[in-house]
Structure 1
Amino acid sequence: MWETWVQSLGPEDPREKEMATHSSILAWRIPWTEEPGGLQSMASKELDTTERLHFHFQDAKDQRATHRKRNSIFWTTKSNLIHFLGLSHHLLALNFIIVSFGKKSAWSSAQVKVTDTDFDGVEVRVFEGPPKPEEPLKRSIVYIHGGGWALASAKIRYYDELCTAMAEELNAVIVSIEYRLVPKVYFPEQIHDVVRATKYFLQPEVLHKYSVDPGRVGISGDSAGGNLAAALGQQFNQDTNLKNKLKVQALIYPVLQALDFNTPSYQQNMNTPILPRYVMVKYWVDYFNGNYDFVQAMIVNNHTSLDVDEASALRARLNWTSLLPTSITKNYKPVMQTTGNSRIVQEIPQLLDARSAPLIADQEVLQHLPKTYILTCEHDVLRDDGIMYAKRLESAGVEVTLDHFEDGFHGCMIFTSWPTNFSVGIRTRNSYIKWLDQNL
């Protein structure tokens, strides 16, 4: 059986100026919300959306709420207006905002050396922990940032701070990959970037340059980065041409499938701030350069209805009624349409590709995977993706630690410093690094 860690709630400590910026950066994730009557437009729901974010980020009595609210609405509206006017893709506009406010130079400290370079044409940021005479060779993690395959950067403050902490506390070399994003490239180019950079790093001469032990290299990532890490892990550990295999994989609230958007966690958290269901489905469509007209049909699982033959062989691999414990399934019912829209998987066959949806991989692929850590959060549409993957890996004979946080929300692990310093962010990060320390 897998080991399960459940954590509890703690205090938080928001601050003024930068909080407005970061809450506005988060608000782009919720341009729409789902309600019983259907989808409501951003114009009618922007204020409510921002208020929901602030419920998580501050006390409702905070006198600065109005100022932050206006900032959030301003930036969300601005990026969508840019898209509407045809001046730029809305994801490019949003990421420009995120990176402009959050980008951090490669600054080294007394403990961690930080450098920007490229591995086989792919930009990376390398964090080198302090040398120790008693340990001439270091362990290493290749880290892949999240952001829906379209946003964020290895060079923004959140990921820079996470990787710096990992390098220092683990005395490790952390390679953070700056893979290309939607809409400049689409699936599977993001996977190609992380595979190319990781293969380059695993070359004996490169490992020697960074004083890395070839037998102590792992892969990790959060959200969409967890998706890419899982896909890379499946590819690497069955590649007979690779001399050095991955020792561990650590997946942080990973997104792992696009066939069922009505798992219990999708139903429970469909309107949860930061990553509501509609936004996650839209990320998938963006990743495949698909048609936005498909989004609403996918939300109700019309793309995998019983009359869609292409999906029939894969349903058992994500049958949550058998993969999830009753404490999770509760009274939720599967949403399985009798008839649907087969045109969706015909136009977007990538939906059925295990490189995009590692949860549907063959059992023979899963059994080659290394020791695995999966972190899940209760208030996250992706919770059940991670739990089902843990169950499938366990059934394939893989040693799995499932680390579940009852008070966790999607993205919480990178919120560890002001103005978005949450207790659960600090606890998830500490738990993650502790597992790496014990297993890498």
Structure 2
Amino acid sequence: MTTPAIPTVLETAPMDPALAGFLAQAAAQGNPPLESLPPAIARQVYRELADTLGLPAPAIGKVKDISFPGPDGPLRLRAYSPDAAGPWPVLLYAHGGGFVIGDLETHDKVCRTLCHHSGMLVVAVDYRMAPEHPFPAAPDDVEAALRWVLANAAALGGDAGRIAVAGDSAGAQLALVASRRVNAKAVRALGLVYPVAQHPSQPSASYPENEGKFLTMGVMQWFMASYLGQQADADKHPDFALLDSGSLASLPATWVATMGHDPLRDEGHALALRVASAGVEVTHRHYPEAIHACIHFTAVSPVGLRVMTELAQWLRARV
């Protein structure tokens, strides 16, 4: 399949006015920085944000919680089935949240939306979080979930020969790492929404340009310190430093979304170019008016729903 070349210079545009208004209103409230909160409180803030700023989720077939033996004890999955006859292609989804916040609830609407628009069985993984469980707990868990899905898709009504993996932000990094570790022919597609690809100690130009546009340098430093802890050279490990180490040639066809007003914009763009240079089929979609985490803000602006719909359409065509 032929895909358009990835531009070396990204399109620019003013921020979506509704998103700009949301950020101005949030700043005026004077809430404490997320990184100043205990992790449990920060997680609750994220849950409430995702719940209140997202449109009601579309109707799907059914939702089922599952437990399976993970690397260090039971792990939870949540399976979202389409309202149609199976067997369905399967999407394993890893939520974002900086490896510290985020869970099945923060991304429930996201997974329902992807299930509805793609017609796929979506399986969300509730991987272990930092700082309680630092690197490499999260990639180990997502890898285990992918192996479990490959072995058990049919029991859920899925097609074990048609698997995709996707995630947003930190979850996008975990989705890529799991796909690379497992390297199964049945994994046909990889979806990355504003991925984390390098440590904020090596900030690209999009960091200072977009400071405070939902993401800040302070919160990213907190996320990475919590995730990587005091482990020597963990920030250079191939399962973290996606731009600097580890082969990407084994990845399946990959879809990468970047947002114009996101500190992670340039590293996501660089990752798309690096995956393409490894010989992988890459589709890069840039949303110049959007901010990080916009897939949660569908009641504020339509751009987040467009991101999810276009990812779902691409997955449906690829898997």
Same fold (TM over 0.5): yes
1:118 aligned partner? 67
Give the TM-score taking structure 1 as reference length: 0.63
Whether the 8 Å CA contact 2:16–2:289 is kept in 1: the answer is: no
Shift of the 2–266 alpha-carbon distance from structure 1 to 2, 3 Å rule, reads: farther
Q: Give the SS at the match of 1:192.
A: helix
1:284 aligned partner? 224
Shift of the 181–394 alpha-carbon distance from structure 1 to 2, 3 Å rule, reads: same
2:292 aligned partner? 410
Shift of the 357–153 alpha-carbon distance from structure 1 to 2, 3 Å rule, reads: same
Q: Following superposition of structure 1 onto structure 2, how do residues 244-283 of structure 1 map, counting pairs within 5 Å?
A: 245-258=186-199, 261-269=202-210, 271-283=211-223
Structure with the bigger percentage of helix = 1
State the 1:131 CA deviation: 2.6
Per-residue CA deviations over 1:49-106 (Å, capped at 9, x if unaligned) read xxxxx84417x7xxxx5xx768x445x37984xx6xxxxxx122211343467679xx
1:128 aligned partner? 81
Q: Give the SS at the match of 1:366.
A: coil
State the 1:282 CA deviation: 2.5
Q: What count of residue pairs does the alignment treat as equivalent?
A: 307
Whether the 8 Å CA contact 2:60–2:83 is kept in 1: the answer is: yes
Whether the 8 Å CA contact 1:2–1:399 is kept in 2: the answer is: no
1:198 aligned partner? 146
Give the TM-score taking structure 2 as reference length: 0.85
Distance 1:409 1:3 in 2: 23
Distance 2:34 2:314 in 1: 41
State the 1:266 CA deviation: 2.1
State the 1:235 CA deviation: 0.8
2:154 aligned partner? 208
Q: Give the SS at the match of 1:381.
A: coil
1:322 aligned partner? none
Runs of 4+ in 1 over 6 A off after TM superposition: 5-13
2:169 aligned partner? 223
Whether the 8 Å CA contact 1:9–1:424 is kept in 2: the answer is: no
Distance 2:16 2:291 in 1: 14
Whether the 8 Å CA contact 1:380–1:410 is kept in 2: the answer is: yes
Distance 1:95 1:368 in 2: 34
In the alignment, is residue 386 of structure 1 matched against residue 268 of structure 2?
Answer: yes
Whether the 8 Å CA contact 2:65–2:76 is kept in 1: the answer is: yes
Distance 1:428 1:123 in 2: 26
2:310 to 404, 425, 431: 431
Q: Give the SS at the match of 1:229.
A: helix
For the pair shown, which has the larger CA radius of gyration, 1 or 2?
1
Amino acid in structure 2 at the alignment position of 1:189:
A
State the 1:147 CA deviation: 0.5
Distance 1:3 1:194 in 2: 30
Distance 1:279 1:259 in 2: 10
Shift of the 119–9 alpha-carbon distance from structure 1 to 2, 3 Å rule, reads: farther
Distance 2:170 2:163 in 1: 21
State the 1:431 CA deviation: 1.9
Whether the 8 Å CA contact 2:166–2:172 is kept in 1: the answer is: yes
Distance 2:204 2:60 in 1: 44
**Pairwise CA RMSD:** 3.0
Distance 1:371 1:260 in 2: 30
Whether the 8 Å CA contact 2:89–2:158 is kept in 1: the answer is: yes
Structure with the bigger percentage of strand = 2
Shift of the 415–101 alpha-carbon distance from structure 1 to 2, 3 Å rule, reads: closer
Whether the 8 Å CA contact 2:15–2:288 is kept in 1: the answer is: no
Shift of the 265–125 alpha-carbon distance from structure 1 to 2, 3 Å rule, reads: same
Q: Give the SS at the match of 2:116.
A: helix
Whether the 8 Å CA contact 1:124–1:177 is kept in 2: the answer is: yes
2:182 aligned partner? 236
Per-residue CA deviations over 1:253-285 (Å, capped at 9, x if unaligned) read 00011275332212322x232112232123111
Which consecutive unaligned segments of at least 5 residues does structure 2 have? none
State the 1:117 CA deviation: 1.5
Distance 1:168 1:140 in 2: 13
Shift of the 234–434 alpha-carbon distance from structure 1 to 2, 3 Å rule, reads: same
1:178 aligned partner? 126
Shift of the 402–101 alpha-carbon distance from structure 1 to 2, 3 Å rule, reads: closer
Whether the 8 Å CA contact 1:122–1:196 is kept in 2: the answer is: no
Distance 1:8 1:211 in 2: 43
Whether the 8 Å CA contact 2:6–2:273 is kept in 1: the answer is: no
Amino acid in structure 1 at the alignment position of 2:188:
K
1:422 to 301, 311, 316: 301
